[in-house]
Amino acid sequence: MRTLVFLEHHGGELVKNSLAVVSKAASLGGDIHGVAIGSGVREAAAKAGAYGATKVWVAEDAALDAPLPQPRVDVLEHLVREHGYDTVLFGQSVLAADVASGLAARLDAGLNWDLTDLVQQDGTLVGKRPALQDSVVVDVGWKSEPRLALFRSGAFDPQESGGDAQVDDVQVELQDFSTKAAMVEQAHAESEGPSIEDAQVIVAGGRGLGAPENFKVVEELAQALGGAVAATRAVVDAGWYPYASQVGQTGKTVSPKLYVAVGISGAIQHKVGMQSSGIVVAINKDGNAPIFELADLGVVGDLHEIVPKLTELVKQRKS
C-alpha cells in the first residue's frame, strides 16, 4: 500500500484527527506519507513522523494559506498522479470532507465516508461505516484505486510510535476555478470561559427549547448539577448561544461522565460530538427523536415542565 494522509493544521499545529489517521494508516503497513498545505506548516508537518509517516509533502504558497478546499484538491491530485498513491485518507472536518469529495470527482475515485475503522480483510481493504443512526454497520469497499476514505471524528486516537519524516516540497499550479473563492475574514479561536471539553457534567440545549431565553432552564440545571452548558449547532447558528459551547461535528467533541440532552433531536452531526459520554439522559417531546437511541435514560415529555422540576429535585438532594 502507498498511502497519503491529508494533514490538517490549525494555529501552527496538526489537528488530532489527522494524526490519528496517520497512526491508523501506519498500523495497516506500507508507505505512509502525509501532505500539509499552507505557509508556516513545515515544522508542524514534520511531527507526523512520530506517528508513523516516513515522508511529508509541504505545499507552501500564499494562495494556499486560507483553509479552502479547492486549491487543496489541486495539490492532492498532483501528488496522487505523480507519485502513485493507491490510498488517500482524511480525518473528518469541514475542510477535509470538501477536499475528499472534490478529489473523488477529479480522479473518478471511490470515496467512503464516516468510517469508524479500516481493516485488511482477505487481502482487500474494507471500511466500517455505521449507518441508519448507527443501527447497522456496513462493510464498504473500493472497486478501483486510488481508494479515498474519510474517517469519523474521534474514531481512533493518535499513537506516538517515534520516527522521523523526510520533508519534501511540492509546488502545484492551481486550477482557474480553485481561486474563485476567497477568504474575507478567517475565524479566530474563541477561548473565553471554561472549556466544555474538560467538564464532567454537561447539560446541552437544542432547538426544542423554542426560544433563546429558554436556555435559562438549561443553565439552572447545569448549575445545580455543577456542570457546564453546551448547545447544538442549530441554536448556535441561530445566535442563541455562543459558538464556544457547540458540541458536534463542527464544534467540540466531549466525553463527560454525564450528558443531559434537553430538546435535542440527536442528528448525526451532534451525536458524533457526544457519543463517548458516560451516561446520557435525554428529554424531548418527540418520542421518535434519534437521541433516544443512545440515551441510557430518555424521558418523552415537555422539557419546560420536566427540567425546572428536575433542577429543584437535584438542589433538594444536594442540600
Partner 1 sequence: MKIAVCVKQVPESQAKRLDPATKRLDRSGEGALNAFDANAIEEALRVKDASGDGEVVLVSLGPERALDSLRKGLAMGADRAVLVSDPAAAGSDLVATSLALAKALEREQADLILFGQQSSDSDGAVLWAAVADRLRMPLVSQAAELTVAEGKARVKRQTEFGYDVIDASLPAVVAVSDAINEPRYPSLKGIMGAKKKPQESVTASDLGVDAAQLGEAGSKTEVLALGDPPARGDTVKVEDDGSGAQKIVDFLAEKRLL
Footprint of partner 1 on residues 143-182 (CB under 8 A)?
Answer: 143-144, 150, 175-178, 180-182
Residue from 86, 106, 167, 174 that binds partner 1 (CB under 8 A)? 106
What letter does residue 247 receive in the DSSP assignment?
A: B
What angle separates helix 69-83 from helix 94-107, to the nearest 10 degrees? 50
d(CA 134, CA 272): 11
Residues in contact with partner 1, total (CB under 8 A)?
Answer: 98
Whichever of 164 and 190 has its CB closer to partner 1, that residue is 190
311 neighbors 303 (Cβ within 8 angstroms): no
221 neighbors 278 (Cβ within 8 angstroms): no
Q: Please tell me whether residue 63 binds partner 1 under the rule CB under 8 A.
A: no
Whichever of 68 and 229 has its CB closer to partner 1, that residue is 68
- The cell for 148 is 479515498
Whichever of 108 and 169 has its CB closer to partner 1, that residue is 108
What mask of x and - would describe binding to partner 1 in positions 39 to 58, judged by CB under 8 A? --------------------
Whichever of 150 and 229 has its CB closer to partner 1, that residue is 150
Give me the sign of the Cα torsion angle 46, 148, 158, 24: negative
Which among 192, 199, 240 has a CA at the least distance from the CA of 222?
Answer: 199
Whichever of 160 and 296 has its CB closer to partner 1, that residue is 296
Tell which positions 243-282 bind partner 1, by CB under 8 A: 243, 250-251, 257-258, 268-269, 279, 281
243 neighbors 272 (Cβ within 8 angstroms): no
Q: Please tell me whether residue 220 binds partner 1 under the rule CB under 8 A.
A: no
What letter does residue 3 receive in the DSSP assignment?
A: E
Determine the interface stretch with partner 1 among 38-46, 162-170, 212-220, 289-297 (rule: CB under 8 A).
289-297
52 neighbors 32 (Cβ within 8 angstroms): yes
Residue from 62, 123, 132, 171 that binds partner 1 (CB under 8 A)? 132
